[in-house]
Structure 1
């Protein structure tokens, strides 16, 4: 981070090498080249004899200045207050359900989390301004207007830094109403149709000129220059080209934009506020640009296990073939120093998802909640930063660093692993330019290590590492520290936030309240409980006889540890739970078998009772069909008369004695045939 030397803004060589110059020699050559010229990079202070080499910030190129960050440029006031509200993440993902039991759509969840985080920041800013005015004896009038202005101007910062926008109301009066409602009804106030009356999902977007220019410059599959954008913008205004926002399917209206000269467009695209977003978007390394504004800090190591896990890839210093070294991805709990997750392979790309799956499996097997915080590198993890690697999802806090060794604590442990354990093993590869002579390449040829042996050797090293003394308490091992010093306030693992991205997907269907998964039967429930009663009937109305998607993850034994059910739109429905199995032979029944039969009895009785209730609600009806089956009488068969049903008059026989006994006399003539019998019985 640039700092002042007296009144002069300077930077150190460490901020320039190797980020902008590959080595110090190249930087030194350029300093010498421009030493006596009126332009170019200049020294502010020579290095050596205990002094640090300093370079004049204003002598650097504009690109380097913008990448490092100019502290003289003011930042937006809401940057001091805005952060993702993790309670909002939990509420919209897990706690809120519509009256019919359905959950929010994924797009609605993301929008509400951003809006809630923004309103929380606005409330903090409001309190700060009120305190300041009270201290100075000022009036409270007009504070709401300033909050409205700051909130909507902050949208540009959100888009550039976090690739999102809030959708708070653009009308001043309605914005005040929205803020008041949030204070009174919290997160629920942001949900349209929370009571289930109507459901409207309207997406409001601002069509600002600078946003359109940024989208044209960086939101493409190729990299146009400023001249190309100026020509396209003029053609857009004249109706020769159309611009469609791929995210919202919005067709931009040229009437809402003003003509701009090519020089104005070029100047804006080279400006700080444009390049900070477009450069990151086009280069694909947005995180590195953000890190240029954040100073390095000295932080205390966590004391509770589970507070933070640090993860990174590495190649053990052994070759299994000529020029080939295997890849590992490891996670180390920073308090206990124990390696708690791992994945390995022959290529780097195959590691990352397997690593996160193994992380979940291990913590599930050990009965632990997932860590609160994660620090990781950006190269393999950047593709997940908009899914499960967001604050409040798989982890409560996520820190994604650029590829810098000093940013991640795990890099320090890798050195101990390399020189403290692996160095003693056959096939260890030394570094030719290591500072210590004992760690440099020797005169003997280094043998190859078979791949399978290398896998077993690496696992054995993990076991050795975890059984070594913990750095904070030498009397117990690292893994014992991990087991016995878990943070008491860790949140339960939020499977709903990441299982869709890490788990296996199986298409299934529900029949008679049961589903098939991995050659076994599963029942409906949520949060680990099998549903019965009204909750079960509600779920059956949604999934019975329907096609569903089941996302599941297996444990270290290959059994399913968690299975979640979603519909075709990606909406979460419920959890799939193993069908309880009882004992057929009473003498072999254990308490577990008895509980299983009781649960399944209630599960089955719920369906049976609902069936009976629906059956009893049905009344018998008689249908009188007056529809004519023929359209003509032209066809006849000679000798066959058309049958016309008639009703004969029944003569009532007077009885003189009601108590006279009636004697049945059977018929003596025996008519043959079914019709004769019928007529005899009816006459």
Structure 2
């Protein structure tokens, strides 16, 4: 392997060379055809050729990081005695990221005692930050059990290979970690136990003034983070028992036992008071670290982790946000109906909604269809950006929800992060501004304010987990929610300082983004519409749901495949089930937009203006068809054998064979005689 423009590469020859002896199976890493396929294809397994094998002395180089893992395993097996683990090298190359937290830690670190206030030299800050970044990649590998198993090929951790793989990138990253496997293992374990402090030169650090050094502090935090969430006095008891050798403490990942002597000071155990434990457990940073271990991700994210600070856009339809929810009241089957809403972020209006008894993709698609019916009914354009979740929508990522397909921008929200989705905020606003006012039993049992907690009456039966609740008819709950949506949309906009006297719906209609693009129904309906297979009949129409939809022009039949009249028709029924137009595709290619031309009354005395208009439109189609046939009229020809052609050329005057004047229809008929074989033969005989 070699570097080319700071990219680790392997040559085409090394990948495809067969070193096996005659009669033995090939031991090439990949075949030549495989190489060509992987370097010319697309997708996740495409290999990146950073230098083609063109020009004098050049040979093709492939980026190591782009080679699929199954071939990396073959490389390791082919060269087992060279101490080179390409899987580890590739892992560290892909997972090395500069550690900004380490850079900040080293820049604020100050030496203690006689060196108090003295900071780490800038060059050492850079060096130790790089070392921390490399060790982070190593720790990440230990945490990825599946990758670790593949890299070690099911064996125990091979520190020789680990140290060699990291040392290979010494020149590229500039780290100063020792290449000795034993010393490297020691540094990794120390870094896991002490963090960034393990990288600080111990010859310059003197923590003798601290009763609780970094190692002891990390041990206390590890004890406090046990699954039982021990109190501070229990943490002190467990720490004292460990120091005295009564209990053992080990690393659950590596299985390494901690040694009490490593936490002694001047060869003696360090005992701590409960107040000292309390102080260290309540240090601001330590509290954050403990909360991360003790809380679920959702609670930690909502209560401790920092969040983004945003403001709404200026125009409506610049961004819409979609989300599902359970309606707050239960249906007669004891289950809450599922709802899906589409909100305009600027106005807060519900612009699309759907309901179902199950939380599935049909619920999402019904909401999208309802939203576009609203958009089409009001003559609006396509929203610029849509914000969705992964749970129900990820299967549409390569179609409807692909950025640029229907919506110019698509934002995928992180899972379990409800505060990120604007729709979550609007759900709450709708619930407590309208639903709670109109219906009983709206709220949550765990909320702080009693006015938001519904009354729950427990049933003391053998299950001891049932409550008396009023149940409602499913259709009634849906009708109530639609009425709530209409009331919510027509309430005053909450930002009256910016939109004085305007309702949410007025803001939606009057503040529309002027740069939006119109709806491409032919494309949109392919993603959200109904689909049926049909055929073009009489070069005129296709039939969908018992209705004939006419081609826009007879010329459109020329877009069909040869001798293939089968097409797929996409359409979106109105809320009453009627279909206005269908969009036909063949082999995933758009053909035409077909509309229902209607039928007219053939009794002249009963015809209305609408009947006469339909008759005229149908007659226009027929005229267009007749003109197409006439314009494409095929010229008649006669096949003359070679010997007859020679006889005619020798006997018939040249002027006889001249084409007639096409301006005269009569002359055109006369000319047809000369294209008749028998007539030509008779003229030839007369000449003799």
Query: Which of structures 1 and 2 has the bigger CA Rg?
Result: 2
TM-score if structure 1 supplies the norm length?
0.49
Structure with higher RCO (Cα < 8 A, 6+ apart):
1
TM-score if structure 2 supplies the norm length?
0.48
